[in-house]
């Protein structure tokens, strides 16, 4: 986070600009753990998005599949972006 002057607040981690294109932006299909079950946080948020978009929720998605589904539903619902 930054204060009103744009200066990072103490203790706030900054993303190094040289990391652009690194794992910070890695495609979910390339995640080492992408085939593991989605996390609890993913499941909770995905369930919310599915409810808002009147779409079915699939609790058996992998981490990578859930991430892609979240991105698609965020675009569709206008949330989170």
The mean pLDDT of 12-18, rounded to a whole number, is: 55
Task: Answer yes or no: pTM beyond 0.75.
Answer: no
State how far the alpha carbon of 78 is from the alpha carbons of 52, 66, 75, in Å: 10, 17, 5
Say what the pLDDT of residue 17 is: 57
Q: Where are the domains of the chain?
A: 33-81
pLDDT > 70? residue 5: no
Which of 45, 47, 28 lies closest to 36 in space, CA to CA? 28
pLDDT tens across 23-42, in order? Answer: 456 888 888 888 899 999 99
- Cα(50)–Cα(75) distance, rounded to whole angstroms? 12
- Cα(63)–Cα(1) distance, rounded to whole angstroms? 27
The proportion of the chain whose per-residue pLDDT surpasses 70, expressed as a percent, equals 68
**Average pLDDT, rounded, for the chain:** 80
H or E element at residue 41? helix 40-53
- Cα(78)–Cα(32) distance, rounded to whole angstroms? 29
């Amino acid at each position: 986070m930054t204060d009103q002057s744009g200066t990072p607040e103490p203790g706030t981690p900054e993303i190094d600009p040289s990391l652009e294109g690194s794992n910070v932006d890695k495609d979910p299909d390339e995640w080492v753990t992408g085939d593991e079950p989605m996390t609890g946080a993913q499941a909770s948020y995905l369930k919310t998005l599915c409810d808002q978009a009147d779409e079915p929720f699939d609790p058996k998605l992998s981490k990578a599949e859930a991430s892609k589904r979240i991105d698609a539903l965020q675009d569709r619902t206008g949330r989170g972006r």
